[in-house]
Amino acid sequence: MAELQIERARELARASLANLEANRRRIDDLNVYPVPDGDTGTNLTLTVRAVVEALEKSSAGGQAAVAKELSRAALMGARGNSGVIFSQIVRGFADVLAEHEEIDAAVLSQAFRSASDAAYRAVRRPVEGTMLTVVREMAEEGEKPDVLALPKTEFLRRVVARGEEAVARTPELLAVLKDAGVVDAGGAGLLEITRGLAASAAGEAVPEPVADQPTVGFDAIHLEESRYRYCTVFVVEGEGLDAEELERELEQLGDSLLVVGDASALKIHVHTDDPGAALGLGTRVGAIEGIEIANMQRQAAEREERLEASAAATLDLPTLETGVVVVAAGAGNRRLFESYGATRVIEGGQSMNPSTADIVAAIEATPATEVIVLPNNGNVILSAEQAIGLASKPARVVASRSQQAGLAAMARYVASISADENEAAMTAALADVATGEVVRASRTVELDGIDVRAGAWLGLVDEVAVAAGDDFDEVATAVVERVLGGYRELLTLLTGTEEPDLDVLLARVRSAHPLAEIETHAGGQPHYPLLVFAE
């Protein structure tokens, strides 16, 4: 029986993934924001792929064990807000499945309800017109007496149909969607996952995964600075595997260590100079598979430079009172965070959200009594909050919503004082700072009352559109004026991979604000030619 259950679970998960992947680009394109947002389709795909991989490697017996594995895999693989909410949906769903050997419409109905409740609990301020609405409406459909009476496959068909309606209605509930003329991306993703599941349950064909899409799973897991050469990932299968013991042994070999799984299968991620030794530890306790080894020193020179700056700060230090894990986008911004003493830097941010597991690993690798996580992106805050709950050492999130806010908070960091004191200073910095950005609009839209044409410059201040037009200097000046707000005196400009010419802007600001201190740095962030903040 056990063999059948796990195999069935694999089929269903693969079908969900296939259907989601087939729609991934479409979902990515649903970004309501006229700038490349968190890439909801990609984040959800990575999250579901983590679930599929876990099931592929799992030998869990019995419904309860399979369900537990599902929850854990979704949680550890969760990326971005949508991924984290989805991981809670999986957990809620799996909690109910765990209690039943036979799955019928009644059990599914309970499972959808449990999934919906878990999703709502996961967010502090639930917003309707999102994935939450879609899962709730699906749960409500499943509780209708006539639907409950249907056989499983029919039940799922009705739930999917209701999900479609819910997705289509999201613009009526959320003005930003309506303004942009799109439906909610997270809701659409959830619908495709459920559609794949329903099709597989009914024995129908699901779309083949699209071949030309890059494999993101592996690249994405290794986002973290390492002084070691090889990123090594593999799975050990066996009996009575001791994750902690393996972790202790692997610790001797390198860093960025992640050992996830249960007694029968462990996924290992480690940065080491000796991948052979790491694999050897695996073969000693079980059979290894899914081996991936990547040489991370392709950008060796750049990394050397970074290490020089931070080596003494991160390597020969005794345990710090407070350490900081930051999520940074762009090599220049990374260096700025490091120069401020960031203990661990995870690359990521807009359109490249780190997973919960990435953040957990960074917290674990931080040699500090307590850790503060700066997510530096609105879409990473939830993952960071999940991660601090999973990490084995005390950690807390200071909810910075942008690179700029993160830098303002980071400036206040002192390693030798308590996390309480650091948190208070950082939170005060977040309250003080005004942030802005100048981007190219990716679609024509009316945003916050401003007409934005695709391809034109768009200026945002604290995430609200304030100016748009073809003249970079005009838009940038408007943004800078707003962030200075007539009283702030310290202005910092961070240029992106696309480096705009700042001469005109700087001349204007200097003449209008002779007392302001102005700093310009090459941040190197993608998507945002100019980030600004003022304190």
Partner 1 sequence: MNLTAQNTAIILDSTSDWPEAAERFPNMRVVPLYVRFGDEMFRDHVDLSPHEFYERLRHVTELPSTSQPTPQDFIDAYTAFAAYERIYVLTVSAKLSGTFQSALLAAEEDGGDRVRVVDTATASMAMAMLALAIQRRLEQGTTDDEIDALVDRFRRDNRVVFTVDTLECLQKGGRIGKAQALAGTILNVKPILSVEDGVIVPIARVRGRQKALQEFGRLFMEGTENRPGLHVSIAHADAPEWVDVLTDLVEKARPQAQIDVVATLGAVVGTHAGPGAVGFFWLQD
Residues that bind partner 1 (CB under 8 A): 310, 312-313, 317, 335-336, 339-341, 407-408, 411-417, 425, 489-490, 492, 517, 519, 521, 535
Q: Fill in the DSSP letter of residue 299.
A: G
Interatomic CA distance for residues 210 and 204, integer angstroms: 18
Q: How far is the CB of 225 from partner 1 (least distance, A)?
A: 16
Q: What is the distance between the alpha carbons of residues 530 and 461, in angstroms, rounded to a whole number?
A: 12
Q: Provide the minimum distance between the beta carbon of 424 and partner 1 in the complex, in angstroms, as a whole number.
A: 10
CB atoms within 10 A of CB 209: 16
Q: CA–CA separation, 396 vs 167, rounded Å?
A: 34
**CB-nearer residue toward partner 1: 283 or 319:** 319
Question: How would you class 369 by CB atoms within 10 Å of its CB: exposed for 0-12, middle for 13-18, buried for 19 or more?
Answer: middle
**Nearest-approach distance from CB 167 to partner 1, in angstroms:** 45
For residue 535, the minimal CB distance to partner 1 (Å) is 6
Q: Which of 102, 95, 109 is nearest to 66 (CA)?
A: 95
Q: How far is residue 202's CA from residue 216's CA, in Å, rounded to a whole number?
A: 30
Closer to partner 1 by CB, 446 or 517: give it: 517
**Residue 40 vs 404, nearer CB to partner 1:** 404
Helix (H) or strand (E) run with residue 421 in it = helix 419-432
The pair of three-digit structure tokens given for residue 195, joined into one six-digit string? 């559609």
Distance CA 116, CA 133 (A): 9
CB closer to partner 1 out of 161 and 313: 313
| Min separation Cβ 365 and partner 1, Å | 17
| Nearest residue (CB) to partner 1, 365 versus 468 | 365
CA 231/CA 215 separation, integer angstroms: 16
CB of residue 182 to partner 1, shortest distance in Å: 39
Nearer to partner 1 among residue 82 and residue 492 (C-beta)? 492
Least distance CB 118 / partner 1 (angstroms): 40
Structure tokens given for 56:
């592929």
Closer residue to partner 1 (CB): 21 or 338: 338
For residue 91, what are its two tokens? 């957990």
Half-sphere exposure of 71 (CA within 13 A, CB side): 17
